[in-house]
Structure 1
Amino acid sequence: MILSIIGLVLIGVGIFGFFRRRTLKNHLLSLKLTASSTIAELQQMQQSITQELGQPGAFCELVKLRGKLHCKNPLTAELSQRSCVYYKSSITEKYETVEWENDSEGKRRKVRRTKTRKVNHNESQISFLLEDETGKIKINPNEAKIDAIQVVNRFEPANSQGLSISWGGVSLNLPTRFDSDYRTLGYQYEEEILPIDIEISVFGELRDQDNELVVKRPADKKQPFLISHKSQDEVVQDQEKELSNTIIWSTVCPILGVILLGIGLITGV
């Protein structure tokens, strides 16, 4: 039965992968077909359409932009304390615990395993301005896939007194345990941010809202909404690599799943 269950799970993973790679193909096609624009070109296009129709709010266009990120009132990242418009921070406990399992002879024995659990996770973002050599435009990053820069990645070993960290007006006490069945090894700190005044690439939908141009998530959910510190070419290359990897595992998993399911049904294992 175990092999049959594993086989069914792998088949399910393959089905998920089929839909995932279709989504990635659509995103990649959109990224390649959408022409790069300057902010001035888009502003002129919006003004022309507004004048032609006689009312604001009609302009809507998929765009590919590159420029510098600006924000007058940025966020402060929790761990690094750096100014940014987006951050994602986490603290993960690494520990050893004792579990019981059956050996090959069916006897119960203790096994020490290393595991992790997330004890703190925070993510925050705000709207900002993107500036190129021709002008500025507002970006609303809500629901965007954000490729940020990792600025914190460190591990602090535990001690018997525990660990305590603080940032801004927030403090967190991290307890430690040392006994025969549970031992805290330490805590992993990680944080990634979109800092201000860096060059970024944005792929999304430009809309005219209250006579103001804003880039936000496309109304068509099949279209990509990406914000990255990488160049436009690098973003496309990353999408191509992800699609290639998805094609591989989404093809291998169902084949292996069918094989295991067949073996499980035949042998009853």
Structure 2
Amino acid sequence: MTMVGIGVGGLLAAGGAYLAFVQSKKKAGFATELKFMKATSLAEISESFRSMDAEGLGDSYKDFVEVNGAAVTDGELKSPHNETPCAYYEASVMREYEQMETYTDKDGKVKTRRNKLYENVSRDKSSSPLYIADGDTKVRIDLQGADLQLKSAATRYEPFKEERGYSFFGINFSVPTGTRTLGFRYEERIIPAGHPLYVVGEVRKSGGELSIGQPSEKGKPFIVSVKSEEEVIGSMEGSAKTTMYFGYVLIAIGIAAAVFL
């Protein structure tokens, strides 16, 4: 047992305790809170807001809600890579390339090797407003700070061709010197147009209209998901258990490090 071992072990054990007893309980608490929440229809929310607005209290309207509906946006929107009709998208382009590296082997000889590497060269997301709709009622979603759970779309790989020029999301791309570009991987995640949405957040008046956004009360969840309520809760519970077990492992490693290092 040394001071270094005690220090390293203490840090590992402290990190493990935080994961096992703080983070995991926080996630489990979110899951429990969602289980006991009662979904509110968009029509009910709209009616409550109109009643308060008629009394001059619309600006102070605020409520923490769970809602279900369909994803819609203004006009027609398609994802940039696959041209899939959607209400929201996040897209990226990953460059696959090779780079030569000089290194010294165990015998002291200087050698070179070729490494395959990846870098994100461009990304984009839709700027059109996202709404959750149910019947004739729709409410805008302010995605700032949301736990945004999207649907993965098909990934496409395109080998690099030196004779052609490349531009991604309207910006020309120049191949960096000193590397050999192999190709580009096009990835996107979307909320398909009309897809069911599960949203938990704070509804309030913003910009003259109702919107759902990040709760003003610290620690409250803000979820926008293409998954069902049951799937979201199940995922949270699974993540809480994984975090707890990983924390226990770190605690055990920390104790071992403190004793044996």
Sort the TM-score into its range (normalised by shorter chain): 0.7 to 0.9
* 1:190 CA drift (Å): 0.9
The answer on 1:141 being equivalent to 2:121 is: no
* 1:203 CA drift (Å): 1.0
Q: Which residue is 1:224 aligned to?
A: 221
Task: Find 1:59's aligned residue among 33, 58, 61.
Answer: 61
CA distance in 2, matches of 1:12, 1:187: 42
Aligned residues, how many? 256
Task: Find 2:32's aligned residue among 29, 35, 45.
Answer: 29
SS at match of 2:256: helix
* 1:140 CA drift (Å): 1.9
TM-score by length of 1: 0.76
* 1:153 CA drift (Å): 1.1
The answer on 1:188 being equivalent to 2:185 is: yes
Q: Which residue is 1:173 aligned to?
A: 173
| Contact 1:163–1:175 (Cα < 8 Å) also in 2 | no
Q: Which residue is 1:70 aligned to?
A: 72
* 1:213 CA drift (Å): 2.6
Query: Sequence identity, in percent?
Result: 23
CA distance in 2, matches of 1:125, 1:254: 44
* 1:33 CA drift (Å): 2.2
TM-score by length of 2: 0.78
SS at match of 2:186: strand
* 1:173 CA drift (Å): 3.4
Distance 1:8 1:73, change over 3 A: farther
Task: Find 2:41's aligned residue among 38, 42, 56.
Answer: 38
Structure 1 gap segments, 5+ residues each: none
**Aligned pairs for 1:155-170 within 5 A:** 155-158=157-160, 161=162, 164-166=165-167, 170=170
CA distance in 2, matches of 1:107, 1:6: 35
* 1:205 CA drift (Å): 1.0
Distance 1:176 1:58, change over 3 A: closer
SS at match of 1:222: coil
- Comparing 30-39 with 112-121, greater Cα deviation is found at 112-121
CA distance in 2, matches of 1:29, 1:209: 29
* 1:47 CA drift (Å): 4.3
Task: Find 2:238's aligned residue among 232, 236, 241.
Answer: 241
* 1:228 CA drift (Å): 1.2
- Comparing 112-121 with 241-250, greater Cα deviation is found at 112-121
* 1:225 CA drift (Å): 0.9
SS at match of 2:59: coil
* 1:29 CA drift (Å): 2.6
CA distance in 2, matches of 1:12, 1:114: 37
Distance 1:214 1:176, change over 3 A: closer
Structure 2 gap segments, 5+ residues each: none
